[in-house]
Structure 1
Amino acid sequence: MRSVLFVAAEAHPFIKTGGLGDAVGSLPQELKKQGVEVRVILPKHDKIPAHWREQMIHLKTIYVPLGWRNQYCGIEMLEYNSVTYYFIDNEYYFKRSGLYDCYDDAERFAYFCRAVLESLPYLNFEPQVLHCHDWHTAILPVLLAAHYQHKPGYSQLRTMLTIHNILYQGVFDSSIMGDILELNPAEYFTGDKLEFYGQVNFLKAGIVYTDVITTVSPAYAREIVTLEGGRQLDDVLRQRQHDIYGILNGIDNDLYNPANDKIIFQNYTWDSVEQRSVNKTRLQEYLSLPVNPDVPMIALVSQLINFQGIDLVTEILDDLMAMDLQLVVMGKGDEDYENVFQVAAHHYPAKLSANIFDDETLARRIFAAGDLYLMPSLAEPCGTNQLVALRYGCVPLVRETGGLQNTVRPYNEFTGEGNGFSFIEYSVRNLMHAIERAIGFYHEPKVWPQIVTAAMKSDVGWSNSAIEYRDLYDLLVK
């Protein structure tokens, strides 16, 4: 049995800000089913709810070297859904109002990586692979090579780095080389290692030093080695191209299941698709929209930022409001976009519901009620919301980028195949054409239920991807 320790900054249900937390929270359970002994180690963030913190068992107190510092580290543990989770406790670094964007993030996450490595002898667990996630943990393979390979029990450790979003790289001042990382600049601060336009890049460091690299969809693995998609790391990624694997993210099929979801108004399956309409009428009542089960409802549950294609949506908003449809928006983001939707909701109260906040309950109800889910992303490594939409029969309309290409198959009226709609060129014209096409099929009563059923039957879970990860672990540990 392979033994793997996930190293990450967040994981559902303890703490999450987005898709990273969802993936780290749900993949280990599926890996366990595939025969992998997997555990997870996280920072003990102050934002972790009290009921989780109260369940943690203190295992050990140690001190972690970090440059000239010798920092406290409490190692705590709890079990959830048959998976063991460890937490690195240090209030100086992790008692913050948020998870990221602190002035000392370089020190915080360098400390976390050193603490993980220092904790290994005390976990009562001997991992063969340290599976690092995103830039927050990408410096770990460098620290392992520089400071631990000579120590007993460390030399056989292998590392894997998963890039969830290459936009976020962890770029810091070069002064951290000696002061925090304890690395000799002459050896490590070079163009082929950590140096990045005169600064230190954590993600680049991980790409160079890890044994194998994965990312969250096959299409994204192809995109990040291009000049446009690599975000200035394309060259170093191309040098590791044969070590890069695109493995599609999934969602927890037990958590997201319209057949028994207690949050939604009416449960249903693909054999009882007609029951979905109850969710629509109940949501219309809840949001004070006109109750009409026949009007197409477009859902937009998203960060309201350019990256998610919101600029395209706001440009066509008046055109959408001229159509016979309802638009339900939920999310926060750029203030300008928030204002556009709020003003439009005031002008079109029978057409648009603008919910400028994040709420899991309302999100789930929107997925269960909506007919069409809008996701016109500028870029999307994998995407989670389109997977949830498919699971709930809210037919996705996406731009063909990243993981959206791998999960949404455009409907073909000649073959009857497909589970959604898509467009390629990032433009207002193409988005509007795709919406008009989808609405046209919505009004064909013999066609639309087939598309909804195909969406709900889509494989959006982790089972196949977990097998791919298991095989990669086997490849690493021979």
Structure 2
Amino acid sequence: MNGKKILFVSSELVPYLPENPVSLMSYEAPRMVNSNGGQIRIFMPRYGNINERRHQLHEVIRLSGMNLVINDMDMPLIIKVASIPRERIQVYFIDNDEYFKRKATFYDKEGNLFADNDERAIFFAKGVVETVKKLNWSPDIIHVHGWMASLLPLYLRKYYADEPLFADSKIVTSVYGRDFDGELNSEMIDKIAFDGIEKDGIEPLSRPDYNNLLKVAVNHSDAIILASEDISDDLKKYIENLQKPILPYVSLQEAEEAYTNFYKTEVLK
């Protein structure tokens, strides 16, 4: 991976949030690339339950300050950064008081999904791309982890289709086991269509449950990693029928060699 530039975009990441399959692999995959000579950038949302003082987050003024339009509303974009000390890895946080100040990730105190999780996902996808544009950093691979990041492939391929910075970037989506029950806001498909994205290409989002979010993500990806053993049969069959490069599930102990080989032989070929 020497010299290759990989952008990791994740819903969750240790040590900033509790360990689970998404947050752990979102840390391990960049660490592997970093230790093998690759250049990396990591992006995640700045949820309100991340302790900014303990993790030493600070705002990057030169990257903040723009507004993103979400469903005809102007929403300020704030960018913060922190470093994972033992790995010397820098992490960029996408922030907005309306979407991410609350002291939780995806659910309210009653255990219900936040009603605006759909808009948070749109804001996160746009925020990542706009920030990378400001950094003027052209990634060879963009690797997506977790459902809150699942709109990024769609927006890169449709909304930002003419952006030269990503013209040669390959998108990899890691698919995990079902991360939430129920559905996001039923108006999600209309909010995405507001950005000029044709509804024909996002038809699964007329019912925005976990599997359908991931179906839209893999539809707009170049390669797919099965990151869990418990992916639903429906989603697994859908992925296999796409006839795209697929890395079957491997354990964490096997991941470094498997991911590196997959990047080199299937994604960058």
TM-score when scaled to structure 2?
Answer: 0.83
Contact 1:136-1:202 within 8 A present in 2 as well: no
Equivalent in 245, 263, 266 of residue 473 of structure 1: 263
Tell whether 2:47 aligns with 1:23: no
One-letter code aligned to 2:75: Q
- Cα distance in 2 for residues equivalent to 1:167 and 1:90: 23
Map of 1:330-349 to 2, 5 A cutoff?
A: none
Q: In structure 1, list runs of 5 or more residues that go unmatched.
A: 251-459
Contact 2:57-2:80 within 8 A present in 1 as well: no
Map of 1:59-458 to 2, 5 A cutoff?
A: 59-61=62-64, 62-80=66-84, 81-100=87-106, 101-123=113-135, 125-166=137-178, 168=180, 171-181=183-193, 182-190=195-203, 194-195=204-205, 198-200=206-208, 201-216=212-227, 220=229, 224=231, 229-230=232-233, 232-240=234-242, 242-250=244-252
- Cα distance in 2 for residues equivalent to 1:466 and 1:123: 28
Give the direction of change, closer, same or farther, for the CA distance of 1:249–1:63 in structure 2 (3 Å limit): farther
Instruction: State the shift of 1:26 in Å.
Output: 2.9
- Cα distance in 1 for residues equivalent to 2:47 and 2:156: 24
For residue 233 of structure 1, give the secondary structure of its aligned residue in structure 2.
Answer: helix
Instruction: State the shift of 1:132 in Å.
Output: 0.5
Once the two structures are aligned, what percentage of the paired residues are identical? 21
- 2:109 is aligned to none
- 2:41 is aligned to 39
- Cα distance in 1 for residues equivalent to 2:122 and 2:105: 14
Q: How many corresponding residue pairs?
A: 252
For residue 13 of structure 2, give the secondary structure of its aligned residue in structure 1.
Answer: coil
For residue 210 of structure 1, give the secondary structure of its aligned residue in structure 2.
Answer: coil
Deviations 1:82-122 (A, max 9, x none): 21211112111111231012111111111101111111122
Instruction: State the shift of 1:241 in Å.
Output: 5.0
For residue 473 of structure 1, give the secondary structure of its aligned residue in structure 2.
Answer: helix
Contact 1:139-1:206 within 8 A present in 2 as well: yes
Contact 1:75-1:88 within 8 A present in 2 as well: yes
Q: Looking at both structures, which has the greater relative contact order when contacts are Cα pairs under 8 Å and sequence separation is at least 6?
A: 2
TM-score when scaled to structure 1?
Answer: 0.49
- Cα distance in 2 for residues equivalent to 1:233 and 1:188: 17
Give the direction of change, closer, same or farther, for the CA distance of 1:142–1:126 in structure 2 (3 Å limit): same
Instruction: State the shift of 1:63 in Å.
Output: 1.9
Contact 2:7-2:41 within 8 A present in 1 as well: yes
Give the direction of change, closer, same or farther, for the CA distance of 1:22–1:174 in structure 2 (3 Å limit): same
Q: In structure 2, list runs of 5 or more residues that go unmatched.
A: 107-112
Instruction: State the shift of 1:24 in Å.
Output: 1.3
Instruction: State the shift of 1:150 in Å.
Output: 0.8
- Structure 1 stretches of 4+ with a deviation exceeding 3 A read 52-55, 166-174, 183-186
Residue range with higher mean Cα deviation, 101-110 or 9-18:
9-18
Contact 2:16-2:55 within 8 A present in 1 as well: no
One-letter code aligned to 1:187: D
Deviations 1:257-285 (A, max 9, x none): xxxxxxxxxxxxxxxxxxxxxxxxxxxxx
Contact 1:158-1:477 within 8 A present in 2 as well: yes
Contact 1:5-1:40 within 8 A present in 2 as well: yes
Residue range with higher mean Cα deviation, 102-111 or 66-75:
66-75
- Cα distance in 1 for residues equivalent to 2:182 and 2:201: 17
Contact 2:250-2:258 within 8 A present in 1 as well: no
Taking only aligned residues, the RMSD between alpha carbons, in angstroms, comes to: 2.4
- Cα distance in 1 for residues equivalent to 2:14 and 2:32: 14
For residue 147 of structure 1, give the secondary structure of its aligned residue in structure 2.
Answer: coil
Instruction: State the shift of 1:13 in Å.
Output: 0.9
Deviations 1:164-212 (A, max 9, x none): 213548843452223245255543243xxx34xx413321101211111
- Cα distance in 2 for residues equivalent to 1:97 and 1:150: 37
- Cα distance in 1 for residues equivalent to 2:220 and 2:157: 8
Deviations 1:394-414 (A, max 9, x none): xxxxxxxxxxxxxxxxxxxxx
- Cα distance in 1 for residues equivalent to 2:173 and 2:181: 13
Give the direction of change, closer, same or farther, for the CA distance of 1:120–1:50 in structure 2 (3 Å limit): closer
- 2:13 is aligned to 11
